[in-house]
């Protein structure tokens, strides 16, 4: 009889796993605590997608629930896509990391010191972000009513801005730097940037919903965004992000973000040696270790929480990227040694997405009990 019972347990569906019930309870609690409107989460264990679920509303006013078909903006996780596309060309010898970026994109004006592809990949090119220096926009007329569908024309949004530091001097996060990197990918790959992402990343992984979040395109299942104002949760503004495709302009459902994470864990996008370089913390010219690799950031998991990385020797090193933008907060974080990853997407700008992600990790990998 005991053997029969054990056999029945082994045949139970994966949804009966106790950890899945714990994840579900934790996410429902975070929804309530943070007043989130909509949320989608995914869990990859042992390199396999084991959990995908939506919570709350994709459109609160129309009472449309979040499902696995709901599309959320990736925001800055888009930078990891761009980095993978660049490193794939690196493997093919078509985009060299130590080459000056102007070799590929001569439209980008020369600065006081040359900026390399590697500088862009690790945020050390000195390219201005949003608020750390003056952003100089080139104003001109375009034939195309949606000019920034071209990543080369998108350079007009910042290319004449002064640099904020010398290349390699320090880490300075910049979305504009990844727009420039996407232009280099387009030139080196001899195909539109978005098509390269589709052909070499989305299609091989079966990411059917990944696409540019163009506001002029009618994209079904796109989530409505929400934010807090005067203590109330209200509908967000709906800003155009076409100009920053390579730095924060794609959209997909939770399944496709999970597939991207799984593809990274399972070496399906770049060779193991390339991935090792991609996931190595980069140093500045004076040897300072930064919190960023090549298109990916680093965190620590310690005492049941995900923390900012610091060189204290405590915790487990994690790799991934977060995203913050109108209508969305996102997180993708991976523990390569365990082949474990979690992905989180919400349409609530007020979300503490790091807390949601940390809560997921604490369920999947509980902290050691105190002795």
Mean pLDDT score, 1-20: 49
Order the strands of the 250-252 sheet from edge to edge: 72-73, 250-252, 211-212
Domain presence at residue 23: yes
- 247 burial (CB, 10 Å; 0-12 / 13-18 / 19+) is buried
Residue 296: inside a domain, yes or no?
yes
Q: Where are the alpha helices (DSSP H) in 12-77?
A: 18-34
Quick check: 70 and 54 in contact, CB under 8 A? yes
Identify whether 192 is part of a domain: yes
| Domain membership flag for residue 2 | no
pLDDT of 209: 98
Closest CA to 226 of 356, 69, 58: 58
pLDDT tops 70 at residue 364: yes
Mean pLDDT, residues 156-181: 98
The owner of tokens 């232009």 is 183
CATH number, position 159 = 3.40.710.10
Q: Does residue 1 lie in a domain region?
A: no
Return the residue matching tokens 């940390």: 358
The residues near 163 (Cβ < 8 Å, ≥ 6 apart) are 111, 112, 115, 125, 126, 127, 128, 133
Using DSSP's 3-state secondary structure scheme, residue 283 falls into strand
Q: Domain for residue 107, yes or no?
A: yes
The answer to whether residue 3 is domain-embedded is no
Q: H or E segment at 48?
A: strand 48-59
Counted domains in the chain: 1
* Phi, psi for 177 (deg, rounded to 5): -60, -35
Q: pLDDT for 225-277, tens place per residue? A: 999 999 999 999 989 999 999 999 999 999 999 999 999 999 999 999 999 99
Structural contact between residues 324 and 202, judged by C-beta atoms closer than 8 angstroms: no
- pTM, rounded to two decimals: 0.93
Provide the residue range defining the domain that includes 126.
17-364
User: Does the residue 6 lie in any domain?
Assistant: no
């Amino acid at each position: 009889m005991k053997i029969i019972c054990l056999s029945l347990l082994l045949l139970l569906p994966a949804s009966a796993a106790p950890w899945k019930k714990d994840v579900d309870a934790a996410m429902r609690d975070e929804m309530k605590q943070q007043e989130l409107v909509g949320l989608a989460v995914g869990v990859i264990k042992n390199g396999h997608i084991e959990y995908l679920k939506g919570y709350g509303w994709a459109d609160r006013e129309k009472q449309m629930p979040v499902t696995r078909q709901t599309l959320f903006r990736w925001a800055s996780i888009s930078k990891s896509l761009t980095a993978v596309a660049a490193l794939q060309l690196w493997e093919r010898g078509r985009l060299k990391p130590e080459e000056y970026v102007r070799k590929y994109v001569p439209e980008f004006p020369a600065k006081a010191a040359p900026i390399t592809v590697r500088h862009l990949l690790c945020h050390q090119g000195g390219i201005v972000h949003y608020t750390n220096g003056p952003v100089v926009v080139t104003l001109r007329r375009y034939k195309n009513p949606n000019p920034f569908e071209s990543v080369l024309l998108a350079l007009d949004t910042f290319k004449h801005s002064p640099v904020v530091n010398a290349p390699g001097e320090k880490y300075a996060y910049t979305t504009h730097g990844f727009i420039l990197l996407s232009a280099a990918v387009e030139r080196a790959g001899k195909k539109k940037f978005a098509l390269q992402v589709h052909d070499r990343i989305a299609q091989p992984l079966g990411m059917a919903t990944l696409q540019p979040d163009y506001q002029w395109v009618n994209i079904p299942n796109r989530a409505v965004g929400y934010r807090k104002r005067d203590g109330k949760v209200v509908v967000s503004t709906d800003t155009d992000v076409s100009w920053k495709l390579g730095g924060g302009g794609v959209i997909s459902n939770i399944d496709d973000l999970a597939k991207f994470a799984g593809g990274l864990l399972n070496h399906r996008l770049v060779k193991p040696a390339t991935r090792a370089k991609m996931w190595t913390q980069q140093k500045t010219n004076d040897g300072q270790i930064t919190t960023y690799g090549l298109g990916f950031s680093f965190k620590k998991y310690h005492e049941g929480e995900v923390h900012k990385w610091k060189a204290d020797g405590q915790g487990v090193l994690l790799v991934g990227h977060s995203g913050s933008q109108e209508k969305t907060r996102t997180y993708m974080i991976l523990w390569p040694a365990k082949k474990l990853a979690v992905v989180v997407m919400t349409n609530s700008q007020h979300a503490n997405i790091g807390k949601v992600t940390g809560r997921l990790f604490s369920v999947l990998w509980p902290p050691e009990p105190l002795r």
